[in-house]
Structure formats: structure tokens, C-alpha cells
Chain A
């Protein structure tokens, strides 16, 4: 089983690992401790102290905070329970007319805004653009990944999390709260 230095994994994340070393990582059997090393690296880079349970994206993390599992941006801004699509707690900028769409796509490259809108999800804390969706009106935002965290830690990593929670998508429950 291969083993890679933490420093090389950091270079890989930063896009500066030399190509031969990157190829080595691609071709070798995978290192068993990659997840732990990756979490350790990201923990050192984020601007919060709570332990990372899972890097959801390069910018968003599921963390343990006060006995709860919440999504946080690397800047520390919180997005609430990881079982609710974090997008519901973000800022959103939508390009659904030619003027705003034209700031990104010009002339011949302009998509038809009656067919598609561009949704930019912005972190209220740091202004990072966390995701962009290009979908027609009517499309609910993608809940890209709802991890089964307890199964992952208990059965795949062999170290159960102390407080199991129900594995369920709570997004529509949040919507229901908004409509009461």
C-alpha cells in the first residue's frame, strides 16, 4: 500500500505538485490514511476550531459543533444542519436576464435566459462563490451530496461517531417551516 507525505498532498491540493509525483499518486495503489491526512491538512487551513467530520467541497465542511453536525465554510460561516441543503442558508445571485447573463457570457456565447438561469451561491461570510447552477426556472437547487456519515464512520472507517443521527434529507422540512 502506498504512502504519501502530507507535504506532497498539500502540494497536490494547491496544484503545484510536480507532474511525475502526481502521476505516481495516480498510478499507485491508494494510501489508506489519505482521508485522515486530508482532514488534518484542511483543519489547519480553515478559520474555525471545530473538528471536521467530512470535507463536503474544497470550501465547505461538515463539522461537529456543540453536539451537532453542521456545514461551515472555510471562513467559519455556518450553514446549519448538514441534512438540510446548505444552499437554503446561503446568499444567492441569479442571472436570469440578458444584462446580467451578459456579464459572464458575451455575444455569440450568450445562453437563452428563457431556457436557463445561472444561480450563484455566495458565502455570506467571505464572498466565496461556492457553487454555480445552470438550470431552467423551476428546478429545485441540487442537494449535491447528503453523506451517510454514521455508516461511513462506523462501517467503512471502523470508528463510529459518538452521537448517531437519523440519516434523512431535511430540506423539505425547512421549506415547510417557511410556509407555515
Chain B
């Protein structure tokens, strides 16, 4: 009997899903029902194979990002590409890897150049589904006794992919041609070896080729580990079991996610507006078109249907930006799948849960679907708008869980991601560029029953780990002067967001070091739209630095140095040291105007996460506990939380009577100063029509949102009672 092509198998799988509502047409899970013990055991074995690949690959890699931060992922897939299970690591990529394999099949590679054991395929090109050039996606077909039975996949984040500026967070890239070295759906090796010309290209076109090749060898080592171990499993349990169970795992996971939606949420329509700034006007940029401020509209509308399927729309998404912050719909879907895995489908994480989603194609020409209109759009750090948008998913499902009483599952929105990258000569005389891992440990979102955790969470990876300071100091010519929890950095609410931290670095032992304060999902001009249940959103990201400082003199005199970010009205970079150039309130992102020198100081804040609930309903005892930990200030305790305190034995204690009166007074003041909504609406609509007090970036955002999504535009006009032909910017 002739073997059906993979392309035909994909088509028949889709047909079977349409017909039965079950992936692969699996209306019964035979293996699970007949032998649940083996079914579960093999699942855990396969998961651990992926983890073994991760452990092996990261160590082989040797780059600080993989070896220290574990910023990589390995996956095992069905022959048609669906992820069966994945390793620990950057789970954001599972969908990308699955879609990459499907894409190799879809464009006919099975016929030419063909698939065989030992082939190595890669892609990092956003035009073909990649996320951004530093994320090298790899897959290898796995043949057992001549039959393609699975794929092994991997992604690792390289330190530099040769984009126009050093590093891997290419927010400043003006177009796709500046995004760096492109591996465009290529076979890059055979017989478990890379082609020699693959390495030659990496050597001539990336700034840290030893690390980039180390990552490549790490990916390969992990995939080979996965293959060899998988064959041992097949030998032990039989090929039929593996083939059947691996499909069942995907369908099982779909059922689990659909079941959770049906038993833990409520059908209906959920809307969440979200925005993100990218203020670049007047900063160091590459092309004239980039001398502009941008605002993103990141809307999310979900409809949960009667059958517990989920429709998703991005109607209203604003247009592309002349920076590396546009994302392909394929990559965005992977980000969504990652967020969904944290919230719903985490029991058996694979391609199953997302298959119950109907994702409307984002507006053509928007940041979420750039190429139909702007084929040259850059994606140097396409995650930036995506993760900020996915943050809404946490709040949205948190709200849904609340309606059913599943308080323990609730979460508010996530922290933002502002990165630090360095480039220059380090203390050993070696040129280096790369990412520090600080941003991989933000505060976690407030929960329905407690505050978020401090410095313990990251939206793009369950491996929330900022790595050892000493390892960063080993690679980069910096010394940590501080790494500490930042007071009041989480949102204010009944349950506050987990707090972020501050890294304070002193540049040391270098002829010059560039500091790129990067945007991988930060907000600096604005705060997130995460005032869940009356909380206040977390503060914006505002880094600082000091050039030509007196720090050497302070060290020589053994005087106190700078160790933290300082209060919002007395930033430490301005008060703890002296410097010729003091920047204590920078609007991120940016690249320093000239290289930093020895003893220059960088104050790099990492965000706390979002809160939930009215701040004056916060337990006063918790507020006082934060005060005694120096995690909040007297002002926030008093003015935001309405808590009155006294001192006893050097510690704060609650003054219960005064607190009750203060909170009552706040309630009365709120009612007294607020307006009936209609009164405000009447005045506000005039300001909207006059476009009064609106930054040009905001006006441009609304203009593009309305142009790209006519229905969204119509609703906006009707809400503000604007003329039918009203457009912003006119």
C-alpha cells in the first residue's frame, strides 16, 4: 500500500477534525481507556525526553543565554507537526515550532529536497513564520525503521543574529533587511552534521559566531538526544503504542482545555483594550523615518461560544511601525498558545488546546499582520507588542474564573519586559554582545487570593530565572552594585502585583561599552490598562544612567556607593553619586549616545506586575508588613491604601481607628469629586472630536486603527457620537 504524503495526511486530519470535532478524528482515546497507566507513564517519559534534550542542549551551547538562562526549548512532534510535548524553557515557541514543521510540509519539501534521517532544517525568517531572527528554530525528521514517526524540534535565542545593531533585541531595526541573518526555511545539514557553509555564514555574518555556533550545536545535540532516547522508548513500548498515544495526547489536551473552559468560565463576549508606547522621537535612530513616536493599539476580544470554543479578534489593531516591533500572525498565535498554556491548557501542554480557537486574521497592515501591506516591516523584537497584548489574556481569564468562583485560578496582568544588552570589549579583551537575564524574573501578577510573588515570574518563560550575577560579570565588563526588590513597583490594589527589582551596574574594565535599554514588551510613557477591579496599574519603566561619575573616588575613599533605584522623587543616580551626565528618568527604549566608560553607572529597573481590587480594601496588616519590609512607602500606604500607622519599637503598626476613618473619608471624597458618567461623556466627546490634549502618536494610532478596521471605527464613532466621516488626524 502506498504511503500517503504528509501533506495529504494534514488535509485528512483537518477534514476529520471538521467532521468529528476531535483532532485526527479521535472520537475515543483507545490507548488511554484500555491502559491508562502505560498511557500516563509514556507521557511522562516523553516529557522527560524533551527535558533531557533541554539539559543537554543548553550545556553544549555554552552561551550565557542558554547555559545560564535556559532560554531555549525542545519539542517532540507528530509526523504532521503537532507538538506532542515540550521541554521546560521558553514555552512561547511551541506553536512556532509546530507551524514551522507544517510549513516545511506545506511548501513541498517532502518531495524536494525530501526528508531523511539526520536532516537538519531551520528557519528564523518572520516572513515564513519565524518570530525574530535571533530565535533560530530547528527541526529534524525522526525515522524509525524507515518510517517517519516524529519530529524533534528546538529553538534557542542567540546572542547576536547580525542585525543592524549589536544584540538580539532589535527594536531599532527600520526594516526586515536590517533584521540580520536570515535562515529562510532551509536544510542546513545532513547526517547529523551542519553543512560547512552554514558555519561560514554564521562566522561572517554574526558578531559572536562562537556562541551562535555553540547554540547551533546545542540545538543539534538536544535533538539527537531526543531521537536516540525516543527510539529506546519505542523499542520498549512498541511503535504502535507510540504512534497512537502521541496523537491521543494532543486530542486529550484539547479536550482538557475545552473542558476547563466549559466548567470554569461563562459563555459570552470579553473585551480588553490594551496599549503600548514606543517613543523614539529625538533619540538615536537609524533612518529619518524613525524619528517618530509610536503608540500601539493592542485590542483583545474573545467570544466563548456555547460549545466552549473560543473566537478571538484583534479588530482595531493599529498599523505597522518603522521599528522591529511587527509580528507575523503565525508567531502571534504561538504567543497566544503560550499564554493559554499558562492559564488553561497546562496539564498536558501541546498543540491541542489552541485547536479549539477560531482566530480571526488580524487586520492586514497592522502590527499583528504586517506583510500584506508592508512587506518590508521589521521584526527584530516582534515579541514586544505580542507579550504586552498577551498580558490581557491573564486578566481576561482571571475575570472569567471569578464569575464561576474559581478564585484560586485568578491572575491580573503581567509585568513588562525591558531588556538590557551590552556590546563592547570585555575584561579579557574579547568582543561580546548579548542580553542579560534580568528581565526573566519580574514580579508575578496578583492572584485572586494573594499578592503576586516578587521577582519570580516571566510571561515568556516558566523558567523565571535572572541567572547568577557572577555569570553576567564573567561575560560582560560590568559589576553588580545592587540587585534588590524595588518598593512599590507592582500595581496597587487589594492584592498588589509582585514587585520587580533593580539591577545597578558599574561599567568596569573595558575601553567602552554600549548599553542598549531594549524593548521586548515595555511601557515607558504609559501604564498598562490593568486596573482590574479598581486597582492602579504598575508604574512605567524608567531606567537611568550616569556618565563620567565620581564612583572611583567614592570607592577609593570607601564611601557609600549607589545600590538601588531610589524613590520616584529622588532617583539614586542623581542623589547618591555625582556625574557629568545624569539621566535619572529616561523614556525607554534607547541606546546610549556614546559608549559608557569605566565607573559609569546604569540603573536598570525590572517591572513588577499588575494588581487587583480597590486599594482601600487591602488588608491594613499587609500594608504595614510591606512598610516594615521597605516594600512600600509611607505615601502609598497612606494616600493610596488609606492606612494610618504609628510606630512601636521601630516598626510600623496599624492604627485601626484612624484607618477606618481615613478610608471612609476617601470613599466620601471619591463620590464628591467624581462626575456622573454622562456628564463626563458630554464634555469628553467634544475633546475627542477636537483631538484636544492628545499626543500625535495617539492620534496616528487611532487613525490607523480606524482605517484598518472599519467596524471598529464605526463603533468608536457611534460611542462618541462623532460624524460618520470623522477620522483622527484630519
B408 is contacted by which of A22, A127, A138 (Cβ under 8 Å)?
A22
Least Cβ–Cβ distance between A89 and chain B, in angstroms: 7
User: Which of B24-32, B63-71, B319-327, B674-682 interfaces with chain A?
Assistant: B674-682
Interface residues of A in 71-130 (CB under 8 A from B): 87-94, 96, 103-109, 111-116, 118, 120-122, 124, 126-130
CB contacts (< 8 Å) of B288 on chain A: these are none
Let me know if B270 and A144 touch, CB within 8 A: yes
A161 within 8 A of B: no
Least Cβ–Cβ distance between A40 and chain B, in angstroms: 10
Least Cβ–Cβ distance between B393 and chain A, in angstroms: 13
Known contacts A12-B449, A172-B719; A112/B667 CB under 8 A: no
Least Cβ–Cβ distance between A51 and chain B, in angstroms: 16
Let me know if B716 and A138 touch, CB within 8 A: yes
Least Cβ–Cβ distance between B497 and chain A, in angstroms: 13
Q: Interface on chain A toward B: helix, strand, loop, or mixed SS?
A: mixed
A9 within 8 A of B: yes
Interface residues of B in 104-163 (CB under 8 A from A): none
Contact code string B680-705 (vs A, CB < 8 Å = 1, else 0): 11101001100011110110011000
Task: Using CB atoms, name the residue of chain B closest to A9.
Answer: B405
- The distance in angstroms between the C-alpha atoms of A124 and B670, with both chains bound, is 9
Let me know if B449 and A15 touch, CB within 8 A: yes
Least Cβ–Cβ distance between A45 and chain B, in angstroms: 13
- The distance in angstroms between the C-alpha atoms of A143 and B659, with both chains bound, is 33
Task: Using CB atoms, name the residue of chain B closest to A176.
Answer: B718
Interface residues of B in 253-274 (CB under 8 A from A): 262-264, 266-273
User: Which of B415-423, B477-485, B534-542, B556-564 interfaces with chain A?
Assistant: B534-542
Let me know if B267 and A15 touch, CB within 8 A: no
Let me know if B676 and A109 touch, CB within 8 A: no
Let me know if B535 and A91 touch, CB within 8 A: no
Let me know if B526 and A116 touch, CB within 8 A: yes
CB contacts (< 8 Å) of B716 on chain A: these are 138, 140
Number of A positions contacting B (CB below 8 A):
82
Least Cβ–Cβ distance between B396 and chain A, in angstroms: 8
Known contacts A111-B526, A145-B399; A126/B674 CB under 8 A: no
A46 within 8 A of B: no
CB contacts (< 8 Å) of B295 on chain A: these are 115, 136
Let me know if A92 and B675 touch, CB within 8 A: yes
- The distance in angstroms between the C-alpha atoms of A155 and B281, with both chains bound, is 54
User: Which of B93-101, B191-199, B545-553, B609-617 interfaces with chain A?
Assistant: B609-617
CB contacts (< 8 Å) of B677 on chain A: these are 87-92
Task: Using CB atoms, name the residue of chain A closest to B269.
Answer: A146
A131 within 8 A of B: yes
- The distance in angstroms between the C-alpha atoms of A90 and B716, with both chains bound, is 20
Known contacts A91-B674, A104-B536, A108-B584; A114/B695 CB under 8 A: yes
B43 within 8 A of A: no
CB contacts (< 8 Å) of A152 on chain B: these are 266-268
Least Cβ–Cβ distance between A60 and chain B, in angstroms: 9
B405 is contacted by which of A39, A126, A138, A155 (Cβ under 8 Å)?
A39
Let me know if B571 and A108 touch, CB within 8 A: yes
- The distance in angstroms between the C-alpha atoms of A94 and B227, with both chains bound, is 59
Let me know if A104 and B640 touch, CB within 8 A: yes
Least Cβ–Cβ distance between A160 and chain B, in angstroms: 13
Let me know if A140 and B715 touch, CB within 8 A: yes
- The distance in angstroms between the C-alpha atoms of A56 and B568, with both chains bound, is 36
Task: Using CB atoms, name the residue of chain B closest to A42.
Answer: B405
Contact code string A23-40 (vs B, CB < 8 Å = 1, else 0): 001100010101101110
B403 within 8 A of A: yes
Let me know if B614 and A129 touch, CB within 8 A: yes
B406 within 8 A of A: yes
Contact code string A137-171 (vs B, CB < 8 Å = 1, else 0): 11110111111110110011000000000000101
Let me know if B405 and A55 touch, CB within 8 A: yes
A64 within 8 A of B: no
Let me know if B719 and A140 touch, CB within 8 A: yes
Let me know if B530 and A134 touch, CB within 8 A: yes
Known contacts A112-B526, A144-B399, A147-B267; A128/B701 CB under 8 A: no
Let me know if A107 and B406 touch, CB within 8 A: no
Least Cβ–Cβ distance between A69 and chain B, in angstroms: 13
- The distance in angstroms between the C-alpha atoms of A63 and B635, with both chains bound, is 38
CB contacts (< 8 Å) of A32 on chain B: these are 263
- The distance in angstroms between the C-alpha atoms of A99 and B404, with both chains bound, is 40
- The distance in angstroms between the C-alpha atoms of A63 and B617, with both chains bound, is 23
CB contacts (< 8 Å) of B19 on chain A: these are none
CB contacts (< 8 Å) of B571 on chain A: these are 107-108
CB contacts (< 8 Å) of A56 on chain B: these are 403
B402 within 8 A of A: yes
CB contacts (< 8 Å) of B527 on chain A: these are 105, 111, 116, 118, 134
Task: Using CB atoms, name the residue of chain B closest to A156.
Answer: B262
B656 within 8 A of A: no
Let me know if A35 and B405 touch, CB within 8 A: yes
Let me know if B667 and A128 touch, CB within 8 A: yes
Least Cβ–Cβ distance between A124 and chain B, in angstroms: 6
Tell me which of A128, A155, A171 has the highest count of chain B C-beta atoms within 10 A of its own C-beta: A128
CB contacts (< 8 Å) of A127 on chain B: these are 666-668, 670-671
Contact code string A5-20 (vs B, CB < 8 Å = 1, else 0): 0000100110101000
A138 is contacted by which of B530, B539, B680, B720 (Cβ under 8 Å)?
B720
Least Cβ–Cβ distance between B689 and chain A, in angstroms: 10
- The distance in angstroms between the C-alpha atoms of A13 and B448, with both chains bound, is 7
B275 is contacted by which of A89, A116, A147, A175 (Cβ under 8 Å)?
A116
Let me know if A115 and B525 touch, CB within 8 A: yes
B450 within 8 A of A: yes
CB contacts (< 8 Å) of B536 on chain A: these are 104, 118, 132
Known contacts A94-B680, A111-B525, A115-B526; A144/B266 CB under 8 A: no
A57 is contacted by which of B399, B528, B666, B674 (Cβ under 8 Å)?
B399
CB contacts (< 8 Å) of B614 on chain A: these are 59, 128-130
- The distance in angstroms between the C-alpha atoms of A175 and B681, with both chains bound, is 10
Tell me which of B306, B449, B450, B570 has the highest count of chain A C-beta atoms within 10 A of its own C-beta: B449
- The distance in angstroms between the C-alpha atoms of A25 and B450, with both chains bound, is 14
B400 within 8 A of A: yes
Interface residues of B in 693-730 (CB under 8 A from A): 693-695, 697-698, 701-702, 715-716, 718-721, 728
Let me know if A114 and B680 touch, CB within 8 A: no
Known contacts A12-B407, A104-B536, A145-B400; A115/B695 CB under 8 A: yes
A47 within 8 A of B: no
- The distance in angstroms between the C-alpha atoms of A175 and B718, with both chains bound, is 8
Let me know if B267 and A93 touch, CB within 8 A: no
CB contacts (< 8 Å) of B470 on chain A: these are none
Let me know if A135 and B529 touch, CB within 8 A: yes
- The distance in angstroms between the C-alpha atoms of A90 and B680, with both chains bound, is 11
CB contacts (< 8 Å) of A91 on chain B: these are 670-671, 674-677
Least Cβ–Cβ distance between A34 and chain B, in angstroms: 5
A58 within 8 A of B: yes
B619 within 8 A of A: yes
A-B contacts besides A56-B403, A88-B681, 4 pairs, CB < 8 Å: A108-B569, A115-B277, A120-B674, A136-B701
**Subset of 6 A-B contacts with CB under 8 Å:** A108-B542, A132-B531, A134-B527, A138-B720, A145-B268, A145-B403
Nearest 10 interchain pairs by C-beta = A132-B531, A38-B405, A127-B667, A129-B534, A91-B674, A107-B569, A147-B268, A114-B695, A107-B568, A109-B539
Binding site for A on B (CB under 8 A): 262-264, 266-273, 275, 277, 295, 304, 306, 399-400, 402-409, 448-450, 492, 495, 525-537, 539-540, 542, 567-571, 584-585, 613-617, 619, 635, 639-640, 666-668, 670-671, 673-678, 680-682, 684, 687-688, 692-695, 697-698, 701-702, 715-716, 718-721, 728
